[in-house]
């Protein structure tokens, strides 16, 4: 079963310095029918104005992933980390028993676009940690590239949950197949393009929640950039 949620039906917010499209309830926006999927709690497509961002704020017992799509993000936290990341880089923070951090557009000239993803941890009450990783953007082409996983690896961030985040840039007319392990769920976010997923069509900004399927077949009707998350 593939449930598609069109971009046009998603909530959007414009605060001037921040434009955001959350896939689930977030902040002052609450939809009782959209509070998460499996262990996933947040999928925000955020645009931050030059030099603006989120001031110091706390988190606990949450796995937080930031994927930069365009521009530069500066992360700072009370663990002593201060990192600037751009496209081809991923930031992962395990909030654990508690962490305080800031996230700002590191550029004073260009807009920042990033995906903010939150997941419930496999185990609560662990020591907080932070990791910045990088991947080769060329490896996204016509492939599903894992950029975050429970095991982690070279050019892949680790995360404290039984899950994997893939990114892919599929050329028009190209196809990919993904074999689903029994009992697993998948979340798809269309960053850009038009994509056929089995018998469903996804366009820019659409999301899809997948359950009880054995395989996913992807075909790009236009050059497509998308995220696939495999979840317990």
Name the domain count of the chain: 1
Q: Residue-wise over 47-84: b if at least 16 C-beta within 10 A, else e?
A: bbbbeebeeeeebebbbbbbbbbebbbbbbbeeebeee
Mean pLDDT of all residues in 198-209: 98
**b/e per residue 20-36 (b: at least 16 CB within 10 A):** bbbbbbbeeeeeeebee
Do the beta carbons of residue 130 and residue 55 sit within 8 Å? no
What average pLDDT score do residues 94-117 get? 97
Do the Cβ atoms of 116 and 150 come closer than 8 Å? no
Which structural domain, as residue segments, surrounds residue 9?
Answer: 2-231
The string of pLDDT tens digits covering residues 20-77 is: 999 999 988 999 999 999 999 999 999 999 999 999 999 999 999 999 999 999 999 9
What's the pLDDT at 28?
Answer: 87
* Mean pLDDT in residue range 106-110: 97
- CA 119, 48, 134, 136 dihedral sign is positive
Q: What is the average pLDDT across 11-27?
A: 95
pLDDT digits (tens, 9 = 90+) for 212-226: 999 999 999 999 999
| pLDDT one-digit tens code per residue, 132-159 | 999 999 999 999 999 999 999 999 999 9
Q: What is the pTM of this model?
A: 0.97
The CATH number covering residue 124 comes to 2.60.120.10
Give the residue-averaged pLDDT of 195-200: 97
Binding residue positions for Fe cation? 57, 59, 101, 103
Q: What percentage of the chain reaches a pLDDT higher than 90?
A: 99
Known binding-site residues equal 57, 59, 101, 103
Collapsing DSSP states into helix, strand and coil, what is residue 218? strand
> Does the pLDDT of residue 202 top 90, yes or no?
yes
């Amino acid at each position: 079963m593939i449930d598609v949620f069109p971009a046009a039906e998603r909530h959007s917010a414009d605060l001037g310095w921040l434009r955001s499209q959350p896939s689930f309830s977030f902040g002052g926006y609450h939809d009782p029918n959209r509070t998460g999927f499996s262990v996933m709690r947040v999928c925000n497509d955020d645009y931050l104005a030059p030099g603006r961002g989120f001031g110091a704020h706390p988190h606990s017992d949450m796995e937080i992933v930031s994927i930069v799509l365009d521009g530069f993000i500066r992360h700072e936290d009370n663990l002593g980390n201060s990192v600037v990341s751009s496209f081809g880089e991923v930031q992962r923070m395990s909030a654990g028993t508690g962490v305080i951090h800031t996230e700002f557009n590191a550029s004073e000239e260009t807009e920042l676009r990033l995906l903010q993803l939150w997941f419930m941890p496999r185990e609560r009450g662990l020591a907080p940690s932070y990791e910045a990783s990088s991947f080769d953007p060329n490896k996204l082409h016509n492939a599903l590239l894992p950029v975050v996983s429970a095991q982690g690896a070279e050019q892949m961030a680790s995360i404290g949950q039984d899950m994997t985040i893939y990114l892919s840039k599929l050329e028009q007319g190209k196809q990919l197949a993904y074999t689903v392990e029994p009992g697993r769920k998948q979340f798809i976010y269309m960053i850009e393009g038009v994509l056929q997923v089995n018998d469903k069509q996804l366009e820019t900004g659409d999301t899809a929640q997948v359950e009880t399927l054995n395989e996913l077949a992807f075909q790009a009707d236009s050059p497509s950039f998308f995220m696939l998350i495999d979840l317990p």
